[in-house]
Every structure is written in C-alpha cells, then in structure tokens.
Amino acid sequence: RMSRHAKKLKDHDINPCVAETDATTKCMDDNNYNKEMCTDYFLKYKNCRTFWHGIMMQRKRNGVKPEMPSAEERKKILESMG
C-alpha cells in the first residue's frame, strides 16, 4: 500500500514531473546508485521542477486556480511552446 505522499508523487495532476522522477529513479537503480551516471536525469528533473514552479507562481500571482495546471492543461502549454 502506497503512502499518501507516494500517491501524490505519482499523480500526474499534482506532480508535473512524474516522468522525470521515474527516469531518475530507474537510472539510479540501473547504475547501482552512482549519482554521477545520472547527472542528465537530475538536470532534466530540476529543469522540470523549476519550469512548473515558475508557472505555478505566475498563476498564483494572477489568482488562477488551481495554481498547478492539470496534466491536460500542462500538455497544451507545452505544445503551444513547441
């Protein structure tokens, strides 16, 4: 049984970086937890978090609810950016 926190991390509507999280975890598993082998994955995860945090703060300032766009909305945002 997953904890409530673990469920949130896997919820695409709450966590915009599920794919990056999973890829980083897989890389760590595959490389015997040698962080140096997974630098690119950590960077992609960090960039994802930074990008969506910025979007969330902008929406918060503009009074847009929910502050984190849904998975469907995020997909449209990314498509509009190319």
Q: Around Cβ 75, how many Cβ atoms within 10 Å?
A: 12
The share of the chain scoring above pLDDT 90, in percent, equals 80
Using one digit for the tens of pLDDT, what is the confidence trace for 3-33? 887 777 788 888 899 999 999 999 999 999 9
Q: How many CB atoms lie within 10 A of CB 66?
A: 12
Q: Record the tokens describing residue 35, joined without a space.
A: 């962080």
Length of the chain: 82
Find the radius of gyration of the CA atoms of the chain: 14
Range of the domain at 45: 4-80
The answer to whether the beta carbons of residues 53 and 47 sit under 8 Å apart is: no
Give yes or no for residue 40 having a pLDDT over 90. yes
35: how many CB neighbours lie within 10 A of its CB? 12
Question: How many domains, in total, are found in the chain?
Answer: 1
